[in-house]
């Protein structure tokens, strides 16, 4: 490695001494890419083309060389013969290194072995690679190095690029679906004036001009619902979210969500929307409603719907309806070795039973609805059972993929829930800076129509549709601990 770096630096110095700065070129006009040439070979055979990209292999001796050129669309072979170009140019090509970026003018032909190629007449060095690529036999396999040096990962592992191309297609399809339903894409603030009472931990920063602490948002919900109040009846945002919490294969401190809100519908309308949206995205991106994921065949054409009470009873045998008091729930949790929540109410304990017995069983797409009010501060209460809310989450492969409500639009109820939520946070964390968003309460007091809301993570959806095991596999630049400066 050290010798290769030294040799490349020496080649650079030699070129510069000869007045050939390999970084001086400002542009290169290419006419075709590798995929176009392969697809349209019969029409392009014998025609002049210009291609550009990175040299990935170089072989041959004497008067003939073969190189593989990698561009944005794939690879194409470059054929170089001393009799068909200037001898000085051929000698410069001989000194090129794997990884160098070049432009090639030549004609399209097929070699005697049948390989579609470009016969080079002129080669221009556009950028010198001063570091060698990983060798072609072992590649870049260390996961941490791949995540830290995604630029190298993309060069040497073509399937990685395919994942991120598909990510872009997924986002395009999601936008297409929502735009087709009359939703308007909007932007809301990332920097917010204070920490809301939710349990997610934020990142803090400071605004120098205003001389005030600010918070990176943990959700986009409250601003989007202000827009519903303002008469924008269908809105969504593709938003970057920041949470100062743990990291694992399903969590990164910054991630991408879509939150959407539709006036005059409820959480049942959101369930129907999720089903239709997931089917369209899967079919248009993957070509099928059945997608492979980590050893399972996930059928996005069929969705089960269960209340949380019925799901807990189905998988644990425990019936919430048998609990008359919080003490009954606590006793049942202890008997079943279920962790007690910080505030051990019946509803909160039901959610712990769900986590302990149900979630890991939900492999095929499943809606779980009717959540306890204790864990749903923004959802509307069920009219016939105010201990529960009109809320659902949907699960695939034992993972929560999205969260939806019939949104709470009663400002008095909302104020009470926010104030209790903040009080509970401060009883557990006396030094926390959580506050009630009274401006949002003020907005509700102007009147918000009945509204269905949905939020879901883009990264987990991309993991599912690309069969990726870790969220880091679908983030171009996942959060990593810094290395010492000498590394």
Binding-site residue numbers are 393, 400
Q: Are 254 and 486 in contact (CB under 8 A)?
A: no
CA atoms within 13 A on the CB side of 266: 10
CA 398 – CA 412 distance, rounded (Å): 36
Residue 357 neighbours by CB under 8 Å, 6+ apart: 312, 315, 316, 318
Whose tokens are 């309460």? That residue is 441
In this structure, the dihedral spanned by the alpha carbons of residues 30, 32, 35 and 37, taken in order and rounded to 10 degrees, is -140
167-171 long-range contacts, Cβ below 8 Å, gap at least 24?
167/458, 167/462, 167/466, 167/474, 169/284, 169/285, 170/281, 170/285, 170/458, 170/461, 170/462, 170/465, 171/238, 171/458
CA 267 – CA 274 distance, rounded (Å): 10
Go through 373-404 and write b for each residue having 16 or more CB atoms within 10 A of its CB, e for each that does not.
Answer: bbbbbbbbbbeeeeebbbbbbbbbbebbbbbb
Q: Which of 335, 367, 382 is nearest to 456 (CA)?
A: 367
Helix (H, G, I), strand (E, B) or coil at 155: helix
Alpha-carbon separation of residue 387 from 223, 239, 371, 378, 384 (angstroms): 27, 32, 9, 14, 9
**Residue 472: how many CB atoms within 10 A of its CB?**
22
CA 293-295-297 angle, to 5 degrees, is 60
Q: What is the DSSP string of 23-36?
A: T----------HHH
Name the binding residues for Mg(2+).
393, 400
Helix (H, G, I), strand (E, B) or coil at 107: strand
CA 320 – CA 122 distance, rounded (Å): 77
Q: Which of 312, 457, 453 is nearest to 399 (CA)?
A: 457
């Amino acid at each position: 490695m050290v010798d290769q770096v030294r040799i490349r630096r020496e080649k650079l110095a030699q070129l510069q001494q000869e007045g050939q700065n390999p970084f001086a070129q400002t542009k290169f006009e290419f006419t075709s890419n590798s995929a176009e040439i392969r697809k349209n070979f019969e029409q392009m055979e014998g025609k002049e083309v210009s291609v550009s990209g990175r040299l990935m292999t170089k072989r041959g001796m004497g008067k003939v060389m073969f190189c593989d050129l990698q561009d944005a669309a794939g690879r194409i072979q470059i054929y170089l013969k001393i009799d068909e170009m200037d001898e000085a140019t051929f000698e410069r090509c001989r000194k090129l290194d794997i990884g160098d970026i070049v432009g090639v003018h030549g004609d399209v032909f097929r070699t005697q072995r049948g390989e579609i190629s470009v016969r080079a007449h002129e080669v221009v060095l556009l950028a010198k690679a001063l570091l060698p690529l990983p060798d072609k036999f072992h590649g870049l396999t260390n996961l941490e190095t791949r995540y830290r040096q995604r630029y190298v990962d993309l060069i040497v592992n073509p399937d990685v690029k395919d994942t991120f191309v598909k990510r872009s297609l997924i986002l395009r399809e999601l936008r297409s679906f929502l735009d087709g339903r009359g939703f308007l894409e909007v932007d809301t603030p990332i920097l917010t004036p204070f920490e809301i009472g939710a349990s997610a931990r934020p990142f803090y920063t400071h605004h120098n001009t205003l001389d005030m602490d600010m918070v990176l948002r943990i959700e986009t919900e409250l601003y989007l619902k202000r827009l519903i109040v303002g008469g924008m009846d269908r809105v969504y945002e593709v938003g970057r979210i920041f949470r100062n919490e743990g990291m694992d294969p399903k969590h990164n401190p910054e991630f991408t969500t879509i939150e959407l809100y539709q006036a005059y519908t409820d959480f049942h309308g959101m369930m129907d929307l999720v089903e239709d949206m997931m089917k369209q995205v899967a079919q248009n991106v993957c070509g099928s409603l059945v997608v492979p994921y980590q050893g399972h065949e996930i059928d996005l054409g069929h969705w089960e719907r269960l209340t949380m009470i019925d799901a807990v009873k189905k998988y644990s045998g425990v019936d919430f309806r048998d609990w008359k008091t919080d003490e009954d729930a606590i006793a049942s949790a202890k008997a079943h070795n279920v962790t007690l929540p910080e505030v051990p109410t019946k509803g909160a304990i039901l959610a712990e039973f769900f986590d302990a017995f149900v979630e890991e069983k939900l492999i095929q797409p499943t809606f779980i609805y009717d959540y306890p009010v204790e864990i749903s501060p923004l959802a509307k209460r069920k009219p016939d059972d105010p201990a529960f809310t009109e809320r659902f989450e949907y699960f695939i492969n034992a993972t929560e993929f999205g969260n939806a409500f019939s949104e709470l639009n009663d400002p008095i109820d909302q104020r009470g829930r926010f104030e209790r939520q903040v009080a509970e946070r401060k009883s557990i964390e006396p030094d926390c800076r959580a506050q009630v968003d009274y401006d949002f309460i003020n907005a509700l007091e102007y009147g918000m129509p009945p509204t269905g809301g949905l939020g879901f993570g883009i990264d987990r959806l991309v993991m599912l549709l690309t069969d990726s095991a870790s969220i880091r596999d679908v983030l171009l630049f996942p959060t990593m601990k810094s290395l010492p400066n000498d590394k």
